Each structure stands twice: as C-alpha cells, then as structure tokens.
Amino acid sequence: MQREAMEYDVVVVGGGPAGLASAIRLRQRAAEKGNDLSVCLIEKGAEIGAHILSGAIMDPRALSELFPDWEADGAPLNAPVSEDRFFFFSATGAMRVPNVFLPQCFHNEGNYVVSLGNVCRWLGERAEALGVEIYPGFAGAEVLFDENGAVKGVATGDMGRLRDGSEGPSFQPGMELHGKYTFFAEGCRGHLGKQLQDRFHLDDGVDPQTYGIGLKELWEIRPENHKTGLVIHSGGWPMKPDTYGGGFLYHLENHQVAVGFVVGLGYKDPYLSPFEEFQRYKTHPGIRKFLEGGERIAYGARALTAGGLQSLPKLVFPGGVLVGDDAGFLTASRIKGAHCAIKSGMLAADACFDALAAERRRDELSAYPEAFERSWLREELHRARNFKPWMNKGQTLGAMMFGVDQVVLRGRAPWTLHIDTPDYAKLKPAAECAPIAYPKPDGALTFDRMSSVFLSSTKHEEDQPCHLSLKDATAPITVNLPKYDAPEQRYCPAGVYEILCDENGANPRLQINAPNCIHCKTCDIKDPLQNIVWLAPQGGEGPTYPNM
Amino acid sequence: MKILVPVKRVIDYNIKARVKADGSGVDLANVKMSINPFDEIAIEEAVRLKEAGIATEVLAVSCGIAACQETLRSAMAIGADRGILVETDAELQPLAVAKLLKALCDREQPQLVLCGKQAIDDDANQTGQMLAALAGWPQATFASKVVIADGEATVTREIDGGLETLRIGLPAVISADLRLNEPRYATLPNIMKAKKKPLDTVKPADLGVDVTPRLSTLKVSEPPKRGAGVKVADAAELMNKLRNEAKVI
Ligand SMILES: Cc1cc2nc3c(=O)[nH]c(=O)nc-3n(C[C@H](O)[C@H](O)[C@H](O)COP(=O)(O)OP(=O)(O)OC[C@H]3O[C@@H](n4cnc5c(N)ncnc54)[C@H](O)[C@@H]3O)c2cc1C
Ligand code: SF4
C-alpha cells in the first residue's frame, strides 16, 4: 500500500513544551504579519500531555514571553512556590541547608508548582486556537530526506503490523508529512533526534550527553499535611555519596503532591535500582510524614538530559532543527527544562519564520543558534555549566564545589569542567559490587513495579513488532548477564526486562515485556553495549498520564 | 438508507478510574476521554454497510458538552459522513438521551439506529431500548452479526450458551456487542478529512426535550480492595483457613 503525503510549511515532531511553543510562535508571527503558514504537529501520546512527566516547578520566564497574558488566559499555573526547603538526608535524619547558603539556582521565588502535562494541554488548546493542526496518536517513525540530503519531513508509523513485521488484517500504512522545515521536539533521547545527530554529526566536538532518570508519583494527601506551594528538595540518603541523585516533594493544589526521585544515569553500580531507591526514599521520616494516610494516584518515569552547555549539539541541519530536550536544553542544577524548552522553541520558530518569509526552504536555520548565543537561556546554561561535572566527583564534594562555583563566584568561575565518559560506559562489572538488598514494598507507602506500571495506564498492542529492538539478540545473555548481572532488570522502571530460566534454573533468556513500556528511554541510554534501540511503537500507545 | 449512530464520550477504557475523595463521582480532571468502545463498533458496522452499498449515509450523534465534538470527529475519521452535537452542560441520563435521539430520528428519518450496547462509564445498557420504545420501533440488542436485506434486518445475538437469530423490520434499533466487528484504525489522512466534514450543533431546547435528571446519585465508591494473600504450608492449613477464617466451607 502506498503512503499518502501532505505538504506543510512546518512539521513539528513532539507535543511537549518545546514543540508546542515552536508551533505557537510560528502561528503568532504569521498572524502578526497577516500571512498564512501551515503548521502540523504530531504527538505519539494518545493526547497532548499523555506522555509528559515532569516535576515540576516552572519558571514562568519563557511562558511570559510567549503569552504575556498567560495568567488571564487561564494557564494552569495555580500554585506559586510558597516555601523552599533543602535538606541533606541521612538514613533517619535530615540537615536543613539554610536558604542563605543555597546557590541562587536552588531558589524558587516567583516559580510555580505545576503539572507540566496540564500546562501542555493548555498550550495545545492555545496552539489549536491559533491554527496549528495537532494530531495526537501519531509517532514520527522515520525521517525523510530529499534528493539533496536535506530533511524533508517525517513519516508516521504503520498500524496493524504483526509481530513478525508482516501486514495484519487491520494494517494501515503510515503517512508522510513534508515540510519546508521540520522541528524535532521529542524530548530527552528522541529516537529520531538521535539518528539525526549521527547522520549530520551534530555532536562532534562536544562532551557526551549525560542523563538522569526521574521517577515520580502523584499522591492525594491528608489536608492537614498539605501546604500549597511548599517545595522540598533533598540530597544524600538513599544515594551513596559517590552516586548523583536527589528527591523532590512538591505540593500542588487540591491536596495533591508530586513526589519523585532523580538518579544520574552515570551511576556505576550495576545492582542499583532507581525504582527501589525511589521507593526507599519515600520511607524517610521527612517524606513519609507527608504521605502517610494519603493515596497514590499516578506513577511514571522519564529520562532527562543533564549535560548542559558542554553537551549541547549543533542545533541545525539542512531542513530542520532540534529544540528542547531533544537537543539537551535543561539547566541541570535546577532540574528545570520546561522554560528552556519553550525558549528554544521560540528562538527556532523566529529563525524559521524569517527564513520562510524570505522564501527559503530546507536550508540551515543558522539564525537560531546565533540568537541562542545572545539569549538569557545561554547565560543561564553557562552559569550552571559546572554542576553535573562537579556532581560526577561525588555528591558531597560536588555539592560543596558547586556551592563555591555558584555562591562565591556566581557562576562566573574561570573554569569549565568536562565529562568525557558517556553514561553507558560507566557501569562496573557486577563482580566488583555487592547486590543491594532493597526492602520489600509495604503496599501503603512503597510498591512493586507491577502495581506501579498499572497506574501509568500504559498499553501497547501485543501483536506488533517489538519496539525495544536488540542489535545483537544474544548480547543480553552472553555479555550483560555474566558481566553486569543483567542491569536492565533493575534500571527499567516498568519491569519490561526479565531474565527467565527453565524449570531447572538453567538456560536463561531475556524476556521483553514491551507492552509495559512507559517510554522513559532509559534502556536506550544505559545499556552498557548500546545494544537496545528504542523504536516508536504504534501511535497512541504508551502511558496515558493524567496531571503528571 | 440512512443510519444514525449515537456516540458517547467516556473515560478511556485503558485508564484506571478513580473515585473522587468526596464520593461524588469519578475523577475526570485531565483524564483521557475517548469514544465509547461499543459505539466505535457500531460506527464501524454502519460504515461497512455503507461500503457494501447498503447504507447511503452514516450520521453520528453525540449528546453532551462541547468536547464531544472530538468524539464526533473520531466517528467521522472511521467513516461517518457528518455529525450532530446536541450540546448541553447538564448531566444526561439514559432516558434524556433516548428522548434527544427520538427527536433527531423524527427530524432525520433514519432507517436504522445502530448504537453500542452500553457505555463503559455507567454500564446502564438502557438508551437503545428506551429509544426503541419511544419510537415504537423493533429492537435487537447485543448484535454479533447484522445482515440487512429487503427492508429487514437479520440479527444474530450472543446469548448464554448459544446464538439467537432475530428478523426485524426497519426502521429499527440495533445495539452492537463486542464481537460484531473489529474497528479499523483511524488513519491520519482520514482524521485530516474528518476535520472538514460537516458538524452541526443543536441544543436540547431546539429539540423540545427536557433533559432534567430523574435519578440522583447518592454515592460512588470503589470496590473493596483485595487483602494481601498468604502462603499456606499444606492442604490442612488451607482447609483450616477456609473453614475458620474465610468461613466459605
Ligand atoms: C522527573 C522529572 C522532573 C522534572 N522537573 C522539572 C521541573 O521541576 N521544572 C522544569 O522546568 N523541568 C523539569 N523537568 C524537565 C522537563 O520536564 C523537560 O525539560 C521538558 O519536559 C522538556 O520539554 P520538551 O518539549 O523538550 O520534551 P518533552 O516534554 O519530553 O516532550 C516531548 C514530547 O514529544 C513526544 N514525542 C517524542 N518522540 C516523538 C516522536 N517520534 N513522534 C511523535 N511524538 C514524539 C513525546 O511523547 C512528548 O510528548 C523534569 C523532568 C523529569 C523527568
Ligand atoms: S523498556 Fe526502556 S523505555 Fe520502556 S520503560 Fe523500560 S527502560 Fe523505559
């Protein structure tokens, strides 16, 4: 069956803050100038917001540039940060860091506790009102190139292929979306963005990207434990001093709190399980006291980029741009990327609009990186540039030195530190580490993976090609298992990877429970051999997060 | 032959529904909503009848808030020709919906109303039957196969332990069961086309229908949580527990 094609001025892949802001800005500029410009945005989630998982404390700076009247327009930023607390946890105690010693980047006055998914839902409505064509339920599955090698758009995935790849009874081919320019806004570890980086050598000469995995739950807690706008961050326990990680607890509106934990994916111990660390984190007295008597209502996980300025790839290539976390704009010291995503989308949209007005097409939008160089975004990332490299040197020393970097030198340190090893190459052999005995879930405060995944409302058609593909099908058993004790069993927050043996406990094999996948992308990042390649499953599948 | 298919906007079947803390209903804030799966089957069947040259037009109707337009667009992406939204913010109960549909049947004169057997949110399983009664039309519920010929419908129904086949005259109401068909995927080109299909909006008052609820909901609660399981050492302990703790034998 032949794929149909449709022509647009601009095609945007991904409906997170970056993609939506790009599309909105393009249509705003077009409305100002009174010319028409067709913008199409596709989103792999079943609706806008369905795949968005964030903290989140939102810095409204970029949003205010995009929609100066966002407050009057009803943007769901309803819980201004009312109090900031930062702790270093030990197993049972907590040391509060007085706010005066906290680097500026850890202060949150003027920011809002939000559900980024709901902010995206709102942005989606705005975008549609401005004339953006939004198609949720369709994943960009393939980048299309024109005869000159420039990106000419994307193709959405086929529907109804059977497990072996053949066309099933309900088969429907994907569709080609062609644009004069294509925006890639897939968020952290975009699977098309990754291909583009390789093809156009976008990351030549920059540090390897580093990542974290963030796990999060939404709770409805007892009214007496709730204080709208209270934000708590912590370092220390349960992470060992040599591993970067930290927790957060944000009080939203409606007696809800977002509790979460981020673990740097450069961790070395193959026995570490980010999921179990998160569960354990909730048992700390400083966190437990808020959650007890409450009810968990949602769960999910998502990787985030943390390399900052030193890892930022080239942003443009013929016919397209990378925006948001697909490029790696995220201020790691603040774990804030939403405003960076919006800002980068706006900068790219401006460059694109001007190019279209000059009748250009499918060239490099070099005005975008130039504008970035002059922007506050670049300034913010520059100040924070040494955070992750310091943290790599261990949490305690790292925190101290980053403190010096930020409080004493205000981000203007004469040094820029670098990261030279990618996250996947950092695991130590299991033989050099000891298994970690994590406590059993109690079903009230702590849970197992299966009951958690259930709350993410994830679904995938079982009978389709496995979207977690292995370059070498034997490597999980011949290398990962003996050398690292199959770390994918532990880093996957959805229990997708299982080592199963026969009844005699022999002949281990890797079972991939692909329907459970919640699209966090951690396996694609952390597999020590880079053998796991995440591909887009059928559109509309994956988690369906409410309010995340 | 014109077919009218009512479609309801309901919580997506994939979402774990959660009851609001005050027990007043299910929490729908920012929860994914979709077309009721049985209605999707009904639309698919109507579109197949049109593709087979038996029907000439498929009309989708939804009753509810403005967002039900999306539900109508989903129906049109599968192949419905046009949509009518009966827009109201009021709570709609099956009888009110049946009256609205009756009024639209008077106006549109379809030969067949093909509806889902029930909506997965309230599981009421009443609207089709009430509509048939109000219109004085024959009905065949829980259809697993529909054949239309010579002004009659032959409908196979799944019943306990077997199949029942009915023949009814048209116009009629038929409600779709799960196995009637497997709806197609709505493709992107069809979704794009659906955006351009006609969609009219009317109000209940335009149809002269009073939708005031007749039933009041006292309380909504979740089923009791299952307690943790226990491992028993042997059959004797199991018997003991079944007899003395669970008191089931
Ligand atoms: C646990 C956690 C806590 C965080 N806390 C904060 C915080 O407090 N404050 C803050 O500002 N930021 C925070 N961030 C970071 C912030 O969430 C991201 O920086 C931001 O979401 C990036 O926006 P984006 O649009 O680039 O990508 P995303 O938000 O990831 O959006 C990408 C979208 O594109 C879609 N997509 C991806 N690939 C495709 C494809 N091929 N085809 C179609 N669609 C596709 C995805 O489904 C998704 O909807 C946090 C992140 C995490 C994980
Ligand atoms: S399979 Fe990979 S992308 Fe999916 S949930 Fe597990 S780690 Fe994340």
With an 8 Å Cβ cutoff, is B219 touching chain A?
no
What's residue B233's pLDDT? 84
**Mean model confidence pLDDT for chain A:** 94
List the one residue out of B21, B58, B56, B16 whose CA is nearest residue B39. B58
Instruction: Check whether B123 has a pLDDT greater than 70.
Output: yes
The arithmetic mean of pLDDT across residues A322-330, rounded, is: 97
Quick check: CB of A339 below 6 Å from ligand 1? yes
d(CA B249, CA B230): 18
Give per-residue pLDDT as tens, A452-499: 999 999 999 999 999 999 999 999 999 999 999 999 999 999 999 999
User: Residue A71's pLDDT band (boundaries 50, 70, 90)?
Assistant: very high
Decide whether any atom of ligand 2 lies within 6 Å of the A517 Cβ.
Answer: yes
pLDDT confidence of residue B76: 98
pLDDT of residue B229: 75
**Measured between CB atoms, which of B31, B34, B182 is closest to A546?**
B31
Give yes or no for a contact between A49 and A118, defined as CB atoms under 8 angstroms apart: yes
A150, HSE (Cβ side, Cα atoms, 13 Å): 19
Percentage with pLDDT > 90 across chain A: 87
pTM: predicted TM-score of the whole model, two decimal places: 0.94
Residue B7: per-residue pLDDT: 98
Q: Inter-chain contact A50–B32, Cβ cutoff 8 Å?
A: yes
C-beta atoms of A160 and B21 within 8 A = no
Spatial neighbors of A50 by CB under 8 A, at least 6 apart, are: A43, A117, A136, A542, A543, A544, A545, B32
With CA atoms as reference, the chain A residue closest to B20 would be A220
Q: pLDDT (tens digit, 9 = 90+) per residue, A206-257?
A: 999 999 999 999 999 999 999 999 999 999 999 998 888 999 999 999 999 9
Ligand 2 pocket, residue A494 CB under 6 Å: yes
ipTM entry: 0.90
A98 has a pLDDT exceeding 90: no
What per-residue confidence (pLDDT) applies to A384?
Answer: 85
pLDDT digits (tens, 9 = 90+) for A386-413: 877 777 776 666 666 676 666 666 666 7
Q: Identify all chain B residues contacting A459, using CB atoms and an 8 Å cutoff.
A: 14
Task: Point out the residue among A169, A170, A175 whose CB comes nearest to the CB of B188.
Answer: A175
pLDDT over 80 (residue A447): yes
**How far, CA to CA in Å, does A254 sit from each of A120, A224, A232, A251, A300?**
19, 12, 18, 9, 20
Whether the CB of B231 is below 8 Å from some CB of chain A: the reply is no
Task: Give the domains, in start order, of chain B with CATH numbers.
Answer: 2-246 (3.40.50.620)
For residue A18, the CA-to-ligand 1 centroid distance in Å is 8
Q: List, in order of start, the domains of chain A with CATH numbers.
A: 5-68+118-207+310-383 (3.50.50.60)
Summarize pLDDT for A144-199 with one digit per residue, the tens.
Answer: 999 999 999 999 999 999 999 999 999 999 999 999 999 999 999 999 999 999 99
Point out the ligand 2 atom lying closest to the alpha carbon of residue A519: 3
Measured between beta carbons, which residues in chain A are less than 8 angstroms from residue B29? 546-547
Judged by CB atoms closer than 8 Å, whether chains meet at B32 and A174 is answered as no
Read off the pLDDT of residues A14-64 as tens digits, 9 standing for 90 and up: 999 999 999 999 999 999 998 889 999 999 999 999 999 999 999 999 999
Structure confidence at residue A222 (pLDDT): 96
